[in-house]
Structures are given as structure tokens and as C-alpha cells.
Amino acid sequence: MTGDQARGVEAELREVLAEVTGRPDLRGVPAETPLFGGGVGLDSLAGTLLLRQVQRRFGVDVAAEDLNLDSLESLSTLAAFIKERLSGDIR
Amino acid sequence: MTGDAPADQIIKCVIWDIDNTLLNGVYLESAGEPPPADPELAGVLHELAGRGILQALASRNPPEAAAYVRSVTGADFAAAECGWGSKAEAIARIAADLDVQADAIAFVDDDMVERAEVAAALADVLVLTPEDAAEAADWPQFSPVVVTAEARRRGQLYAERRRRQEAAQAFGGSRDEFLRQVGTRIIIGPARAGDLPRLHELSVRTHQLNSSGQPVTEGELARLIGSARHQVATLRLADDFGDDGLVGAAILARNGTGVATAQLLMMSCRALGRGALDALLAWLCRVAARAGAVQLAVPCVVTDRNVPMRLALAAAGLRAEPGSVAADGRAVFTRSLAGGLPHLPDWVNVEASQ
């Protein structure tokens, strides 16, 4: 995967996050902001929609591979999780 | 949208999903013969068709699946959309095809995300779980002649939900701000004998927000309510749109070992996105800590259906040992009760236990 593709994952995740939460302002959220709790306040419903979009757009089933869903700590950790799976596929 | 009285809504067309809805399984995942029809829903389908309500299919499957469902249900479908595109688009095509307005359509799907997407794209469509659909023949929207108080109430809950979803979409702020704005009220209190039928029903019907995946009988629930070693708590939910009543519960075991174990957490999917399970978990942490426990444990079956439950556990800071899913599909999610506990919003009221 090229550097452009890697940056593209994070940009696409921002777009998805804004869609599933109905909050356009989240397009500008810093990549390290916690998704759970005070930062973004991701709940079960928005979280499920986010994971479904990740599966649809990137082919990565986060819920099946990450028991504790720690990859949802922030946009940055989720993008890293997806990039790792994608680069593994290419090899 | 003006939020019309739900009793005015008359369903003229029911659009069914196939996998794990009209069929007892997944069409493409079967090695030999595809799975049989769900007898209960097939019965509902025939009952509704007998009242002149059109039946249709919308499914992520090859077109042969529609022919197969026709043969095993013996039903005539007015339209069938089988393909890999969006369900909302499929429903819009069926509506155009049959010349039926969106507010005269009911859509039945076992998949919460499909339902959420259709509800978001087509706010007027009545979106139902298979469990809802099993009762739909008794609802006024499907049977304007028969209108019981209970049926009227259920229809009202759906209209309230639709208005709430529309308000949420238009809101744009954070979820907590929205919940506060719409006057969300949560009451957590001890379960009483009168709650037994509803608690049993929730244990059977909840899947997405259910930790154990095991139904609990009324007898077993009565025993737990009477047990000094257990605490059965109920959660009631209301807001300015309406009162959903008893939507969830927790069974907490007090075994005196310093670990408080929530044997069961369950919540109706009506409460999804409304902070109810998060509130219940935050309350459990406080109750367990006050009783002297140092750790909260939630044994939870790990399936692809209850991902929303795992999301709530993660949001409340519970974690399982990686790779610790047992042969029975369960993992034990725990968190320390020392230090900061999950946020309990001020709209949550706690009734004193007896």
C-alpha cells in the first residue's frame, strides 16, 4: 500500500464517522481523540454502523478479529488496524 | 413530518428479508438443501396476504433465492428484489413498481444495520424485526378492524421511535446533548414480581444487546429476585417522545469474593442509541464498588449478532483476556472498580432497593 492509500484510510474513516453519528463536525476531529467516552461519545448503535461500513469499504471484519474492540480507541488506531490487515493481504 | 397518529397508518405492502427472516438460516451458506421456511413468519405472511396486503422480497441473494422462498412458503410475491445493492434502493424500486407510498410499507429484516439504513433513508417505512413481525398480524396497521389497547400502544411506540429518529438525524450535536435535549429519563430499580413476564420476554427476544444468549424462565427469575445472593435490577426508559417502559435488566451475583459478576445484561433494541445500556453498566460499577467488590465481571457470549453489546462493554472499560473465548463461545469481560468509574448521566434515577 502506498503512503497515499494509507492517508486515504483515515480520511475515509472521518467521512464514515461523520455519517454514522450524523455529526459533520467530526470530519475535523483529531486522529488521536478517543472514540468512546467524552471525545466522540461513540455508542453501540453508531459503533455498529461504523464497523459495518469498515467491513463494506475495506473488507476488514474488526468485530471478528478484535475481541476487545481496542482498535476503536481512536481514528488513528482504527486506521492502523485496517492498514495492517490491508498490507497483509497484498503480500 | 408531522408525526401522524399511528392508527392512521395502514400497511399495504410487507417487504421481507430472506436470510434468517423468512428462512430459518442463510440461503447461500447451506451445503446441500437450503434452509426451510420459518413456520411462524410464513404463517404471518399468509395471514396478512389473506387480508389483501401485498407481500414482497428484498434480499442480498441471487435471484434463485426468491424462487426458492416462493416454493417453500407457497406464497405469491408481488415483487422480488434480489441483488447486492442497498436495501433502501430495493424498497424504493418495489414501491415505485407496486405504486405504494413509503408510509404504507413495512420492511422486515433480522439485521439491525439493514434496518437502521432503511429507517435512515426511508423514514416513513415501518421497519420491523422478525420478532416484531411475528406479532404484526395483531397490530392496527395490519388489521384496522381489530384495535386492542395493547396493539394501539405498540403502534404508538413505533411512531414515537420514528419521530425520535428524525429528530436525532436533524440534531447534529453529540449523543449526550441529544439525549438531554429530548428529556431522556432512565429509572433503575429492583425487579418486582409484576415484572416477571416482561423480564422473561426480554430474555427470549433480545439478541443484539444480550450478554448470555440464554432465555431465563419466570420461575428462575422469581428465585433470583428472592435470593439474598443476587440482585435483579430493571431499567425503564422514557423521553419527551414517549414512554418505552421496562426495556432492560441486569442480574448481579454477590458472591463475596471481591468480584461482582453480572450473569445477564439485556436490553431491548428499542433502547439502542439512547444511552440505556451505558447507564446500566455505569450503575452496576457503582453498586458493585459500594458492596466492596474490586472488579466487575461480565461473562458474554461472543457472536456476530451481539456486537452492540461488546461495543457497550468496551465503552464502559471492560476487557477480556485476548484469545480467552471458551468452547461455549463465552469470554469474561472485566474491569477494575478502583479509580474513575464510567460516567452516569444526571438523567438516570436510581430507586432504592427493598
- The ipTM assigned to this model is 0.92
Chain A residues close to B333, C-beta within 8 Å: 68
Written as nine digits, the cell of B335 is 474491569
pLDDT tens digits for range B306-352: 999 999 999 999 999 998 999 999 999 999 999 899 989 999 999 87
Interface touch A48/B319, C-beta < 8 Å: no
User: What's the average model confidence in pLDDT over B181-190?
Assistant: 95
Q: 3-state SS of chain A: helix, strand, coil percent to 5?
A: 70, 0, 30
B99 in A contact zone (CB under 8 Å): no
Nearest CA in chain A to B208: A44
> What's the pLDDT at A82?
96
Q: Band of the pLDDT at B5, cuts 50, 70, 90?
A: very low
Which of B209, B273, B322 comes nearest A68 by C-beta?
B322
Chain B residues close to A23, C-beta within 8 Å: 172-174
Spell B261-281 as b/e; 16+ CB within 10 A means b.
Answer: bbbbbbbbbbbbbbbbbbbbb
A89: exposed, middle or buried (Cβ count in 10 Å: 0-12, 13-18, 19+): exposed
Chain A residues close to B312, C-beta within 8 Å: 43-44
Q: Are strands B330-336 and B259-267 parallel, antiparallel or unpaired?
A: unpaired
Q: Closest Cα of chain B to A91: distance in Å?
A: 25
Cα–Cα distance list, B275 to B136, B161, B173 (Å): 27, 15, 15
Residue B354 has pLDDT above 50, yes or no: no
CA atoms within 13 A on the CB side of B314: 27
Rounded to 5°, angle at Cα B206 from B81 and B241: 85
Cβ(B297)–Cβ(B284) under 8 Å? no
pLDDT tens digits for range B214-262: 999 999 999 999 999 999 999 999 999 888 889 999 999 987 789 999 9
A29 in B contact zone (CB under 8 Å): no
Interface touch B314/A21, C-beta < 8 Å: no
Chain B residues close to A36, C-beta within 8 Å: 314-315
Residue of B265, B201, B209 whose CA lies nearest to B232: B265
Interface touch A63/B278, C-beta < 8 Å: no
Q: Closest Cα of chain B to A47: distance in Å?
A: 7
Q: Closest Cα of chain A to B75: distance in Å?
A: 32
Spell A12-40 as b/e; 16+ CB within 10 A means b.
Answer: bbbebbbbbbbbeebeebeeeebbbeebb
B248 in A contact zone (CB under 8 Å): no
How many Å apart are CA B177 and CA B255, to the nearest integer?
A: 38
Interface touch A69/B310, C-beta < 8 Å: yes
| pTM for this predicted structure | 0.68
Interface touch A44/B175, C-beta < 8 Å: no
Residue in the block written with cell 429528530:
B167
pLDDT tens digits for range A1-58: 556 666 789 999 999 999 888 888 899 999 999 999 877 889 888 899 899 889 989 9
Q: Band of the pLDDT at A88, cuts 50, 70, 90?
A: confident
How many Å apart are CA B70 and CA B4, to the nearest integer?
A: 35
